């Protein structure tokens, strides 16, 4: 990594200082405001413990949801503060404002050994437009800057790009460092054979990454709704399957350019549209019946994909192989998760990136058995495609 890490800091010179730490606490909230999944909070604990242990006072900035520059009470970070306090066993103060004199005073008066979480940065009109003056004002809340918000680092927002421009040092937290180490290994130095599995719904978000992998991967396995779009590009019948019609041409072009490296499922599990049903059946991939939708890869495809993955030197997976939220269509996704584990356990470097794919492997109880599960969806895909992110550009070079 060519960006400076928090581990490179001379901590003795920073005792008592305020670290402005951008975290990604964009967690799912249940009704009543309970945090439904604390994975993103847990992911920041190593950096926060490191800072606290060095006598540094963390001031935390995060966004939650898409409030669009105004106060939306249901998207307050207040419930997150309680969860963080519980997990750390350290007092976490919450302040219901972000860009105010009170926030500045509170940050200056924060006792050592405690943390301050400021309110949702996206309540501020200038956050997502990266308003320069806002970036400068947010920077006053800290003496130096730490980005540990990997999932947001592809956003050129005031708290990610604006604030660090005014603070020195500006460094990567441990989460960001671990993400970059793993993704950089996939991007620039994959052990061979390099196998990729793509699934999920949207091709358009992933075109540039597919382009990059077309140049670097030996095999790209394609499942999920993405496979339907490729099948449509081959002129095959797709019935009522989810197809991204404005990406059909792009899919056809990819196939024409690398027919031997793109692998589509040989068979599919089809069912009644919109129903997680037991009337599903297995059909060859070129024979999706009228009125039916393809919701998973079939048993032949599972076997072919699993064999290829298990023999990989490097494996990267983004996007579920089907409508995995429906119990009847989760088998293909589970098979790929198991194959990723098999690959990792036989010495391959196996990485999962993408919000839904990460959830799928966590739900299968297998997340601890692969090399790395990225906490960033869009950020990990963008880093793999381009080798940098706007929020990284704002940090000090090594
Ligand atoms: P990720 O978040 O891992 O990048 P995406 O957001 O691209 O993945 O896609 C995940 C979504 O795609 C899931 O909600 C899943 O149900 C849906 N999906 C995948 N395959 C199919 C399919 N064949 N038909 C309908 N939905 C699908
Ligand atoms: Mg998703």
4 is a catalytic site residue:
no
Q: Does 93 share its domain with 151?
A: yes
Q: Does 169 share its domain with 249?
A: no
Question: Rounded mean pLDDT of 374-390?
Answer: 93
Q: Does 207 share its domain with 313?
A: yes
- Mutate which of 227, 272, 356, 384 for ligand 1? The one with the most ligand atoms within 8 Å of its CB, which is 356
Q: What is the pLDDT of residue 31?
A: 87
Total domains in the chain come to 2
68 is a catalytic site residue:
no
Question: Which candidate in 3, 18, 22, 40 is catalytic?
Answer: 40
% residues pLDDT > 90 (the chain)? 93
Question: Which candidate in 4, 78, 185, 202 is catalytic?
Answer: 202
Reply yes or no on whether the pLDDT at 52 is more than 90.
yes
Beta strands in the chain (DSSP E): 18-23, 57-61, 92-95, 115-118, 144-148, 170-172, 194-198, 219-222, 262-263, 267-271, 281-284, 293-297, 314-318, 349-352, 372-373
Element (H, E) at 79: helix 78-88
In this structure, is residue 398 part of a structural domain? no
**Ligand 1 pocket check for 194: Cβ under 6 Å:** no
378 is a catalytic site residue:
yes
Question: Rounded mean pLDDT of 247-262?
Answer: 95
Q: Does 357 share its domain with 246?
A: yes
Nearest protein CA to atom 16 of ligand 1, as residue: 323
Question: Which candidate in 65, 355, 362, 369 is catalytic?
Answer: 355
240 Cβ neighbours under 8 A, 6+ residues apart: 273, 291, 292, 293
The domain in which residue 318 lies consists of 190-385
Q: Does 134 share its domain with 218?
A: no
3 is a catalytic site residue:
no
Reply yes or no on whether the pLDDT at 21 is more than 90.
yes
- Mutate which of 199, 305, 333, 340 for ligand 1? The one with the most ligand atoms within 8 Å of its CB, which is 199
CATH of the domain at 328: 3.40.50.1260
Question: Rounded mean pLDDT of 116-121?
Answer: 98
Q: Does 107 share its domain with 203?
A: no
Ligand 1 centre distance from Cα of residue 181 (Å): 27
In this structure, is residue 380 part of a structural domain? yes
Nearest protein CA to atom 22 of ligand 1, as residue: 225
Q: Does 16 share its domain with 73?
A: yes
**Ligand 1 pocket check for 320: Cβ under 6 Å:** yes
Ligand 2 centre distance from Cα of residue 90 (Å): 33
376 pLDDT tier (thresholds 50, 70, 90) = confident
The token pair that represents 73 in the structure block: 């009470």
Q: Which of 271 and 204 is assigned the larger pLDDT?
A: 271
Half-sphere exposure for 372 (CA within 13 Å, toward CB)? 24
Q: What is the pLDDT of residue 279?
A: 84
Q: Which of 207 and 199 is assigned the larger pLDDT?
A: 199
Reply yes or no on whether the pLDDT at 243 is more than 90.
yes
Q: Does 147 share its domain with 254?
A: no
Domain end among 139, 174, 209: 174
In this structure, is residue 395 part of a structural domain? no
Ligand 1 centre distance from Cα of residue 320 (Å): 6
29 Cβ neighbours under 8 A, 6+ residues apart: 35, 36, 64, 74, 75, 79
Q: What is the pLDDT of residue 278?
A: 74
- Mutate which of 295, 320, 331, 379 for ligand 1? The one with the most ligand atoms within 8 Å of its CB, which is 320
Segment 123-169, tens digit of pLDDT: 999 999 999 999 999 999 999 999 999 999 999 999 999 999 999 99
Give the ligand at the shortest distance from the Cα of 231.
1
204 pLDDT tier (thresholds 50, 70, 90) = confident
Among residues 175, 188, 195, 209, the alpha carbon closest in space to that of 378 is found at 209
Q: Does 170 share its domain with 197?
A: no
Among residues 118, 167, 125, the alpha carbon closest in space to that of 147 is found at 167
Q: What is the pLDDT of residue 315?
A: 98
Strand 372-373 to 281-284 pairing: unpaired
Q: What is the pLDDT of residue 114?
A: 98
In this structure, is residue 14 part of a structural domain? yes
Task: Answer for the pair 47, 90: CB distance below 8 angstroms, yes or no.
Answer: no
Reply yes or no on whether the pLDDT at 371 is more than 90.
yes
Q: What is the pLDDT of residue 377?
A: 87
Q: What is the pLDDT of residue 18?
A: 98
Ligand 2 centre distance from Cα of residue 356 (Å): 5
Q: Which atom of ligand 1 is nearest to the CA of 353?
A: 3
C-alpha–C-alpha distance, residues 162 and 145, integer Å: 11
Q: Does 47 share its domain with 139?
A: yes
């Amino acid at each position: 990594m060519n960006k400076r890490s928090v581990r490179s800091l001379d901590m003795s010179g920073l005792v008592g200082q305020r670290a402005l730490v951008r975290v990604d606490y964009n967690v799912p909230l249940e009704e009543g405001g309970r945090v439904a999944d604390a994975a993103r909070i847990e992911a920041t604990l190593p950096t926060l413990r490191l800072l606290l242990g060095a006598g540094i006072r963390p001031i935390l900035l995060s966004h939650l949801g898409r409030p669009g520059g105004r106060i939306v009470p249901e998207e307050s970070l207040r419930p997150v503060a309680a969860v963080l306090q519980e997990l750390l066993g350290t007092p976490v103060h919450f302040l219901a404002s972000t860009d105010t004199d009170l926030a500045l005073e509170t940050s200056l008066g924060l006792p050592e050994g405690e943390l301050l979480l400021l309110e949702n940065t996206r309540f501020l009109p200038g956050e997502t437009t990266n308003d320069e003056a806002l970036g400068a004002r947010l920077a006053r809340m800290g003496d130096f800057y730490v980005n540990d918000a990997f999932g947001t680092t592809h956003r050129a927002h005031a708290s990610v790009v604006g604030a660090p421009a005014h603070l020195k040092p500006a460094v990567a937290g441990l989460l960001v460092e671990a993400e970059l180490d793993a993704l950089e290994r996939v991007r620039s130095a994959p052990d061979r054979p390099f196998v990729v599995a793509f699934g999920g719904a949207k091709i358009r978000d992933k075109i540039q990454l597919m382009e990059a992998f077309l140049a670097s991967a030996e095999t790209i396995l394609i499942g999920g709704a993405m496979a339907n779009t490729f099948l449509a590009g081959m002129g095959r019948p797709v019935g009522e399957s989810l197809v991204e019609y404005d990406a059909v041409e792009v899919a056809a072009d990819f196939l024409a350019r690398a027919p031997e490296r793109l692998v589509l499922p040989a068979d599919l599990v089809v069912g009644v549209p919109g129903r997680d049903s037991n009337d599903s059946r297995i059909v060859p991939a070129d024979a999706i019946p009228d009125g039916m939708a393809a919701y998973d890869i079939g048993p032949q495809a599972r076997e072919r994909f699993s064999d290829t993955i298990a023999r990989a030197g490097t494996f990267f997976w983004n996007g579920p192989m089907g409508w995995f939220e429906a119990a009847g269509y989760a088998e293909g996704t589970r098979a790929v998760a198991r194959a990723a584990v098999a690959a990792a356990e036989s010495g391959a470097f196996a990485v999962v990136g993408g919000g839904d794919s990460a959830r799928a492997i966590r739900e299968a109880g297998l997340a601890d058995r692969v090399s790395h599960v990225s906490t960033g969806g869009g950020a990990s895909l963008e880093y793999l495609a381009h080798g940098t992110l706007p929020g990284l550009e704002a940090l000090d070079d090594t």
